[in-house]
Amino acid sequence: MESVLPGAAALLGQARRVVVFTGAGISAESGVPTFRDDLTGLWARYDAEQLATPEAFHADPDLVWGWYEWRRARVRRARPNPGHLATAAIEDLVPGTVVVTQNVDDLHERAGSRAPVHLHGSLFAPRCVGRAAHPAAFADPADDAADPGEGSRLAPPRCGHCGALVRPGVVWFGEALPEAALTAAAEAAATCDVLLTVGTSGVVYPAAEIPRIAARSGATVVQVNPLPTPLDAICDVNLRGSAARILPTLVEAAWGAAGRT
């Protein structure tokens, strides 16, 4: 890794348009389990498709809402790690940097990222199930007071605008990615100089197409991941290691004192 990092840092330091594309790996370092790893303990008797589809919510909204509120409470207790902080530092150092994430947590925002593009939605942006599907307005209990406990059923609130049930604001199996988010991510990838792909396996489509769009458009693609992925072949540089370790080192090498987080 040490032999290729200086070259990657030089490319990043010279870039005028940067995309940071993140996946579950960066948040796992903050203790946020991956989607399937959250099916543990009392939730282990379910599989993902029993809890993460529109049909599941329609059939048993209390069960689905309870699981997602349990997940959201766990994310509230997590803290951004040095990888999230380094991503925010890149935004400060390269104006116009676009952060695109597959994660549904708010760790990028809490680290200082201004407006991450959430391809798979967010646990913190619930919406109603009404035809307008607008963002939900309801009294959201603060902090740990909202923790329903493992295995708990919890009735979803009603939307303050239309009275419809409120659902988690994430993309479920069988649903399309938000069109505006996908378009913004693709456009950013097609026009960037450098794309950093961080902590993602590169196998979940259509999100996995984002680094490939950058590569086809002539951008330098730098991957940060502990293990090989299907993206290896299209990356100009592969940095083996965790986001929390590699990203701060990369930023420091690219900008020195100005890049310290």
**Binding residue positions:** 68, 71, 102-105, 128, 159, 199-201, 225-227, 243
Residue numbering of the annotated binding site for substrate? 68, 71
CA distance 187 to 246: 26
Give the residue numbers of the binding site for Zn(2+): 128, 159
Listed as own residue / partner, the contacts of 205-209 with beta carbons closer than 8 Å and 24 or more positions apart are: 206/177, 206/182, 207/102, 207/119, 207/120, 207/177
Considering 84, 108, 118, 120, which one is annotated as catalytic?
120
Q: Which one-letter DSSP state was computed for residue 193?
A: S
Q: How far apart are CA 175 and CA 135, in angstroms?
A: 17
Taking a C-beta distance cutoff of 8 angstroms, is the pair 173, 49 a contact? yes
- Is the backbone of residue 202 left (phi > 0), alpha (psi -120 to 50) or beta? left
Binding site as annotated, residues for NAD(+)? 102-105, 199-201, 225-227, 243
- 3 state SS of 129: coil
* CA-closest candidate to residue 8, choices 239, 177, 260: 239
Dihedrals phi, psi of 222, to nearest 5 degrees: -115, 125
Residue 123 — φ and ψ, nearest 5°? -65, -20
Alpha helices, H only, the chain = 5-14, 24-28, 48-51, 54-59, 61-77, 82-93, 107-111, 179-191, 209-216, 243-255
Q: State whether residue 118 is helix, strand or coil.
A: strand
d(CA 194, CA 254): 13
Q: Is 84 a residue of the active site?
A: no
Positions marked catalytic: 120
